[in-house]
Chain A
Amino acid sequence: MSGRHGIGGDPEEALRLAERVVAAAEAAGAGEAEAFVVASESALTRFANSEIHQNVASAEVFVNLRFVNGKRIGVASTGRMDDEGVRAVVERAAAIAANVDELEDWSGLPEADAATPLPDAWSDGTAHATPELRAEGVRAVIAAADAAGVTAFGSFSHDVEAVAVASSRGTRAAERRTSAQLLTVTMGPDNGTGYAEECSVDATSIDAAAIGREAAERARLSAKPVNIAPGDYPVVLHNYAVVDMLDMLGYLGFTALAVQEDRSFYEAGKRVASPLVTITDDGRDPAGLPIWFDAEGVPKQRLRLLDAGVCRDLAFDAQTASRAGRRSTGHGLPAPNPYGPFPTNMVMAAGDASLDELIGGLDRGLLVTRFHYTNPVHGKKVIITGMTRDGTFLVEGGKVVGPVRNLRFTMSYLDALANVEAVSRERRCIKGFLGGSVVPSVRLSSFAFTGATAEG
């Protein structure tokens, strides 16, 4: 969708808008100001029961202003780009700044910091994607499902963003980004379900037919699931499940705010996982969805969150960094942000096993495709509960012997990662809470299943 009144994918225009807002704030009396602009054009085609049932596109602008006077800060946002919209957002932010107390530990907006833009964050193929391209991809998934005698559900989406930050401290960061995602759930007769997903900077690189075939085959194999008693089992977790573990660790632990509030498991140098587990946050990894600066315009540093199972780095934004007497690592979210900084580009290091070899190492255990509706039961211990979904299989003697009904688990993800005994070579880019994660599949020596679902 090409926006006549939008910014499209032009980062320079987004930056000019950010500069306009900062200038207007300064003219209105701000000691310093910062504007974060995201102009996006997004489209998504959704399908269910092997037909398209929802199909949408939108052009949006988000302007977030931090208006600072001394240590008094007001934040206001708008979706307007016109002069009246800019005037109004400045007025609202200024009114807040005039009515709030000083933030004692405020050390000012981040200083300008140069970094090199990333060529890998953009694809012309995604920028020019059309409803017809999405429909073609959906038809390919449906054809694969039809061929396997199952029904397809899912979505094919793409986003084009121009992102910019400008501030009174001289920050000038601008970038254009694209991303695309195709996912499908397949359902067969006899309660078989399957799943597959791919995300990429380039929508045209996604092999829709292959995604369709993978999910359809999984649905075929998971037909007629049988009950299995809950309990502790060795497991192979497909990368679709592993991404949730990274998300939860990022949300609950690897954020400086959680550490400062003493609600994180994180301690520098503490071993919390198997030596086979290395997790970084890397906004420059081309295997993911690259981002080179955060919502404060600070370049994203590569963080070694878990280095061979040992806690190393932590994500900081400007405020948490100020409290810690250090510089931001470039992981800030739009202000005001009660959740703290967040690692948005997590990458788990590959191992040396194939998926078949992971499964082959199970004498008797379970193969889990993905998790559903997970939620922390105890945040500091990272105890999570959730369900398996879209293909849970019993493995005996290193071979998949048949599907089992979905199970509930309740377990600390830290304990789970301590049990990692093998990691796959193959990794996928999968969308997580806030960005793209690059994750392998893993084999764990034990995983705690605490309940089973019903047939009804």
Chain B
Amino acid sequence: MRDLTSRALDTATALGASYADVRVVRRLEESINIKSGRLEGVSAGESEGFGVRVLVDGAWGFAASHHLGTDEADRIAGEAVRIAKASATALRNPVELDGRPPAHGRYETPVAEDPFAVPLERKIADLMAADEALRHVDGIAWTESIFGAQREEKTFAASDGSYTEQVITHVGSGLEANAIDGDEHQRRSYPDNGGAWASAGYEFVRGLDLAGNAERVAEEARELLTAPPLPSGTRTIVLHPSQLYMQVHESCGHPTELDRAFGTEASYAGTSFLTPDMLGDFRYGSDLVDIVADATVEGGLGSFGWDDEGVAAQRVPLIKEGMFVGYLSSRETAPRIGRQSGGAMRADGWNRIPLIRMTNVNLLPRDGMTFEDIVADTDDGLLFETNRSWSIDDRRLNFQFGTEICREIKGGKVGRLYRNATYTGITYELWRSMDAVGDASSWRMWGTPNCGKGEPSQTGHVGHGVSGARFRNVRVGVFG
């Protein structure tokens, strides 16, 4: 591999690049999909190639190829330099990178049971058993159970001498029951809509106990069909971790991406209301809100050894006791606010450039109340569980979420069920209203394996650690 990386870097440098890096990535993927007991699809994918990123006259160029060879490394490095020179014809602010030390070493996701080594028939049998348990419940129109695994073997080298190797393994699995009556369709999933995902091995899937939870969620799907719709109003809401992590993702993770704040994602995903002049001086949430971007936490989809610029994994405070204090950042953007990169540059495979992405953006737990204590402490409220829909404006202010299930809380007890539940608000108003957050007993990592960003589009795998929280005076029941 060093032949190829050295050749690409040498060629780029000889052609005028002041900085160059190359990533060689081999990605393996496996998926299993079962619908109503029928093995709908099993697939195994492999993709490999390399991408060369260069800085010439302060402008970026990037080219990538699926063919691994030193001649191709020359050609791709040359193409990247040509592209960078074209970029320089419409450049107003030449790029300057921070001075991180060269990166060296090797990182592997801790994996107890290699998901690719587990026999296919074993994985199918496990999933089929869970799907069968779903179908024990009458009144279910159809069921779906999924398994997925992805492994990336990634080599990074840069013209400053950096050279790292990483093997990153992600797995996910889940199930859902669908109940339908006329034009009413209710879905209930476990552990999450689209499955639960982690950087781990097959032990994570075994630990989900899909079969043990199947009957419960199937019964909930059926009950939802006859539940009343959630009335509109302004209520106290408790967000179960299965919804709270999406709230963190959309209303804290994305607006703290420094490229968005600088406008470089404006043409697609949008910008951010959190502008650099607000750093350290803007009350984002209540005193209870502590949010960090932590690429070092075990099990997160955003955990790694180094980001795709060779910056070591680290923990970066974003919100501290409610105050906005930090960004997800890169070597290019961090110096513009007088900081060093927070190590958040990640690329979706060999054929995409790294972008600022979430690592694991976590709402920290606090001692004092378990999640059950929060529910018991709520006199009149609503418990929202499992994300169903999500939407937020291009500056990450106005959001609206729907959940699969919502239950009333009266006198600290969970009661009647509501269907088609939604809540909506303004980001900082919601987080300022947070008056309780769960302790470590309910805190765990959740994963988003489908985070879209960039042009050409990239799909990111990011993590969120949450424990559940309560918010006051939130508008609910918007259903059109």
List residues of A whose CB falls within 8 A of some B CB.
Answer: 1, 3-6, 42-61, 73-81, 85, 88-89, 92-93, 95-96, 99-101, 103-104, 130-132, 134-135, 138-139, 142, 151, 153-155, 157, 183-185, 187, 261-263, 265, 335-338, 372-381, 383, 385-387, 389, 406, 408, 410-412, 448, 450-454, 456
Task: Write out the residue numbers on chain A whose beta carbons fall within 8 Å of the beta carbon of B389.
Answer: 375-377, 385
Task: Write out the residue numbers on chain B whose beta carbons fall within 8 Å of the beta carbon of A336.
Answer: 31, 33, 40-43
Taking A100-B124, A385-B391 as contacts, is the C-beta distance between A372 and B270 under 8 angstroms?
yes
B104 lies within 8 A of chain A by Cβ: no
20 A/B residue pairs, CB under 8 Å, sorted by A: A3-B67, A43-B83, A51-B92, A55-B84, A56-B64, A56-B353, A57-B83, A58-B63, A153-B266, A153-B267, A157-B456, A375-B389, A377-B420, A380-B183, A380-B184, A386-B391, A389-B393, A451-B475, A454-B273, A454-B398
Task: Write out the residue numbers on chain A whose beta carbons fall within 8 Å of the beta carbon of B89.
Answer: 52, 132, 135, 139
List residues of B whose CB falls within 8 A of some A CB.
Answer: 31, 33, 35, 38-49, 51, 59-67, 69, 71-72, 75, 79, 82-93, 119-121, 124, 141-142, 144, 178, 180, 183-185, 262-268, 270, 273, 351-353, 388-395, 397-398, 400, 402, 420, 422, 424, 426, 428-429, 455-456, 475, 478-480
Task: Write out the residue numbers on chain A whose beta carbons fall within 8 Å of the beta carbon of B394.
Answer: 372-373, 387, 389, 406
Task: Write out the residue numbers on chain B whose beta carbons fall within 8 Å of the beta carbon of A132.
Answer: 86, 89
Residues B86 and A57 in contact, CB atoms below 8 Å apart: no
Residues B263 and A47 in contact, CB atoms below 8 Å apart: no
Task: Write out the residue numbers on chain B whose beta carbons fall within 8 Å of the beta carbon of A78.
Answer: 45-47
Measured between C-beta atoms, what is the minimum distance from B274 to chain A in Å?
Answer: 10
Q: Counting chain A CB atoms within 10 Å of each CB, which of B49, B90, B429 scores highest?
A: B90
Taking A52-B59, A75-B43, A99-B120 as contacts, is the C-beta distance between A410 and B66 under 8 angstroms?
no
Closest 8 CB pairs of A and B: A336-B41, A5-B67, A131-B86, A58-B64, A453-B398, A79-B47, A75-B43, A410-B480
Taking A48-B263, A379-B185, A406-B393 as contacts, is the C-beta distance between A100 and B39 under 8 angstroms?
yes
Neighbour of A456 across the interface among B45, B79, B85, B273, CB < 8 A = B273
Measured between C-beta atoms, what is the minimum distance from A21 to chain B in Å?
Answer: 13
Taking A46-B267, A263-B185, A387-B391 as contacts, is the C-beta distance between A451 and B424 under 8 angstroms?
yes
Using CB atoms, name the residue of chain B closest to A134.
B86
Task: Write out the residue numbers on chain A whose beta carbons fall within 8 Å of the beta carbon of B46.
Answer: 76-80, 85, 88-89, 92
Using CB atoms, name the residue of chain B closest to A319.
B40
Residues A408 and B398 in contact, CB atoms below 8 Å apart: yes
Residues B391 and A57 in contact, CB atoms below 8 Å apart: no
Measured between C-beta atoms, what is the minimum distance from B210 to chain A in Å?
Answer: 17
Residues B397 and A410 in contact, CB atoms below 8 Å apart: no
Complexed CA–CA distance, A450 and B423 (Å): 12
Complexed CA–CA distance, A181 and B13 (Å): 32
Known: A76-B43, A337-B41. 16 other contacts (CB 8 A): A42-B456, A45-B87, A49-B263, A54-B60, A75-B41, A75-B44, A99-B121, A103-B39, A104-B38, A139-B90, A183-B267, A261-B141, A262-B180, A263-B178, A338-B40, A375-B390
Measured between C-beta atoms, what is the minimum distance from B273 to chain A in Å?
Answer: 6
Residues B86 and A80 in contact, CB atoms below 8 Å apart: no
Neighbour of A378 across the interface among B43, B85, B265, B420, CB < 8 A = B420
SS of B interface (majority)? mixed
Neighbour of B33 across the interface among A139, A153, A263, A338, CB < 8 A = A338
Measured between C-beta atoms, what is the minimum distance from A434 to chain B in Å?
Answer: 12
Task: Write out the residue numbers on chain B whose beta carbons fall within 8 Å of the beta carbon of A411.
Answer: 480
Taking A1-B79, A45-B86, A57-B62 as contacts, is the C-beta distance between A51 and B91 under 8 angstroms?
yes
Using CB atoms, name the residue of chain A closest to B395.
A453
Complexed CA–CA distance, A372 and B478 (Å): 18
Complexed CA–CA distance, A103 and B82 (Å): 51
Complexed CA–CA distance, A55 and B91 (Å): 12
Taking A79-B47, A93-B44, A452-B398 as contacts, is the C-beta distance between A135 and B266 under 8 angstroms?
no
Residues A56 and B120 in contact, CB atoms below 8 Å apart: no
Measured between C-beta atoms, what is the minimum distance from A340 to chain B in Å?
Answer: 10
Measured between C-beta atoms, what is the minimum distance from A383 to chain B in Å?
Answer: 5
Using CB atoms, name the residue of chain B closest to A453.
B398
Task: Write out the residue numbers on chain B whose beta carbons fall within 8 Å of the beta carbon of A4.
Answer: 67, 71-72, 75
Complexed CA–CA distance, A104 and B64 (Å): 42
Neighbour of B351 across the interface among A58, A77, A85, CB < 8 A = A58
Complexed CA–CA distance, A1 and B61 (Å): 13
Task: Write out the residue numbers on chain A whose beta carbons fall within 8 Å of the beta carbon of B352.
Answer: 56, 58
Taking A135-B86, A154-B267, A410-B400 as contacts, is the C-beta distance between A383 and B480 under 8 angstroms?
yes
Neighbour of B42 across the interface among A75, A153, A454, CB < 8 A = A75
Task: Write out the residue numbers on chain B whose beta carbons fall within 8 Å of the beta carbon of A380.
Answer: 180, 183-185
Residues A153 and B263 in contact, CB atoms below 8 Å apart: yes
Complexed CA–CA distance, A104 and B390 (Å): 37
Residues B393 and A453 in contact, CB atoms below 8 Å apart: yes
Complexed CA–CA distance, A151 and B63 (Å): 27
Residues B391 and A373 in contact, CB atoms below 8 Å apart: yes
Neighbour of A263 across the interface among B31, B180, B268, CB < 8 A = B180
Measured between C-beta atoms, what is the minimum distance from A401 to chain B in Å?
Answer: 23
Complexed CA–CA distance, A108 and B107 (Å): 45
Residues A76 and B39 in contact, CB atoms below 8 Å apart: no
Complexed CA–CA distance, A157 and B456 (Å): 8
Measured between C-beta atoms, what is the minimum distance from A54 to chain B in Å?
Answer: 6
Taking A134-B86, A378-B420 as contacts, is the C-beta distance between A48 and B183 under 8 angstroms?
no
Residues A373 and B392 in contact, CB atoms below 8 Å apart: yes
Residues B66 and A55 in contact, CB atoms below 8 Å apart: no
Neighbour of B426 across the interface among A89, A185, A454, CB < 8 A = A454
Using CB atoms, name the residue of chain B closest to A53.
B264
Taking A45-B87, A373-B393 as contacts, is the C-beta distance between A385 and B62 under 8 angstroms?
no
Complexed CA–CA distance, A45 and B428 (Å): 34
Measured between C-beta atoms, what is the minimum distance from B190 to chain A in Å?
Answer: 18
Q: Counting chain B CB atoms within 10 Å of each CB, which of A74, A81, A135, A142 scores highest?
A: A135
Residues A57 and B90 in contact, CB atoms below 8 Å apart: no
Neighbour of B353 across the interface among A54, A187, A378, CB < 8 A = A54
Using CB atoms, name the residue of chain B closest to A195.
B267
Residues B398 and A451 in contact, CB atoms below 8 Å apart: yes
Complexed CA–CA distance, A36 and B66 (Å): 17
Complexed CA–CA distance, A290 and B25 (Å): 33
Complexed CA–CA distance, A75 and B480 (Å): 41
Q: Counting chain B CB atoms within 10 Å of each CB, which of A81, A85, A374, A387 scores highest?
A: A387
Measured between C-beta atoms, what is the minimum distance from B296 to chain A in Å?
Answer: 28
Neighbour of A59 across the interface among B64, B142, B395, B422, CB < 8 A = B64
Task: Write out the residue numbers on chain A whose beta carbons fall within 8 Å of the beta carbon of B121.
Answer: 99
Measured between C-beta atoms, what is the minimum distance from B249 to chain A in Å?
Answer: 13
